[in-house]
């Protein structure tokens, strides 16, 4: 479980015809790991601070005559979260992650929307990795990842649709500076979703059935999210 404080500001300043802004996100998390093959642990605390000093938001464009909302965000996660190399579960990552993305929503009709968010991910070295690895440093490889959704407003404030994600790592992980053969991760997920919104409050219920996983777990995920705009 996590509770994230998200502070965002969009100014009236325009750059490249988009509105400039910035944001910060700080999660509090409760992680519970229980496996049949050994590792079990529970950790609570503050997660890594995410800072986006540069946002461009376009709100008044059209694509093929349809309303088209899009933004670019340069996002950096800083290693501020709780971390202990002797624990199999950590809230913090102990590394810097640069994760810019481009997001868009297009509306073919007043009730239908298609959305996606496209990320590039780079991670620095973790110079204090989990003790069980027996390594001095580890560095995950670079990756592209994306999420997407398509929904239909069945009644005012209620949308039904499908949602999913994809991850493809394209450079190898490194351990003590040496590239690890066949270490690239990938996974794809898709499933149904529902959203209810009104009076600044939004509730999301999404499920994802994963497939095509390599070098990572594969399974079914269910996510419930409650969001309140102040």
Looking at residue 39, its pLDDT comes to: 78
Looking at residue 135, its pLDDT comes to: 94
**pLDDT of 213-228, one tens digit each?**
999 989 999 999 999 9
DSSP state of 36: T
Looking at residue 26, its pLDDT comes to: 97
**pLDDT of 20-56, one tens digit each?**
999 999 999 999 988 888 778 889 999 999 999 999 9
Looking at residue 121, its pLDDT comes to: 98
Q: How far is CA 179 from CA 60, 71, 131, 135, 200, in A?
A: 45, 34, 19, 13, 47
CATH number for 81: 2.40.160
Looking at residue 97, its pLDDT comes to: 98
Cα gap 181→44, rounded to integer Å: 34
Cα gap 182→167, rounded to integer Å: 16
**pLDDT of 60-95, one tens digit each?**
899 999 999 999 999 999 999 999 999 888 999 999
Q: What is the mean pLDDT of residues 157-186?
A: 97
DSSP state letters, 50-104: EEEEEEEEEEEEEETTEEEEEEEEEEEEES-S---TT-S--SS-SS-EE--EEEE
State the residue range of the domain holding 70: 2-228
The percent of residues above 90 in pLDDT, for the chain, comes to: 90
What is the sign, positive or negative, of the torsion defined by CA atoms of 145, 220, 196, 31? Answer: negative
For the chain, the average pLDDT equals 95
Q: What is the mean pLDDT of residues 154-174?
A: 97
Q: What is the tally of structural domains in the chain?
A: 1
Looking at residue 11, its pLDDT comes to: 96
Backbone φ and ψ for 132, nearest 5 degrees, come out as: -65, -15
Helix (H, G, I), strand (E, B) or coil at 141: coil
Helix (H, G, I), strand (E, B) or coil at 219: coil
Q: pLDDT-based confidence at 191, cuts 50/70/90?
A: very high
**pLDDT of 98-124, one tens digit each?**
999 999 999 999 999 999 999 999 999
């Amino acid at each position: 479980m996590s509770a994230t404080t998200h502070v965002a500001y969009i100014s009236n300043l325009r750059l490249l015809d988009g509105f400039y802004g910035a944001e910060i996100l700080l999660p509090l998390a409760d992680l519970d790991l229980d496996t049949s093959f050994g590792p079990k642990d529970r950790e609570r605390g503050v997660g890594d601070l995410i800072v986006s000093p540069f946002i461009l938001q376009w709100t008044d464009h059209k694509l093929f005559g349809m309303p088209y909302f899009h933004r670019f965000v340069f996002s950096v996660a800083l290693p501020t979260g709780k971390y202990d190399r002797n624990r199999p579960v950590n809230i913090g990552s102990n590394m810097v992650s640069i994760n810019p993305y481009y997001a868009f929503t297009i509306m073919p009709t007043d009730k239908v929307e298609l959305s996606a968010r496209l990320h590039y991910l780079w991670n620095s070295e973790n110079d204090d990795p989990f003790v069980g690895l027996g390594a001095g440093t580890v560095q995950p490889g670079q990756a592209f990842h994306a999420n997407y959704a398509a929904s239909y407003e069945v009644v005012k404030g209620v949308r039904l649709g499908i949602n999913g994600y994809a991850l493809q790592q394209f450079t190898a992980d490194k351990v003590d500076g040496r590239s690890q053969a066949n270490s690239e991760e990938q996974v794809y997920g898709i499933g149904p979703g529902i959203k209810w919104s009104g009076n600044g409050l939004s509730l999301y219920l999404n499920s994802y059935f994963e497939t095509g996983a390599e070098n990572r777990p594969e399974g079914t995920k269910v996510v419930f999210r409650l969001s309140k705009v102040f």
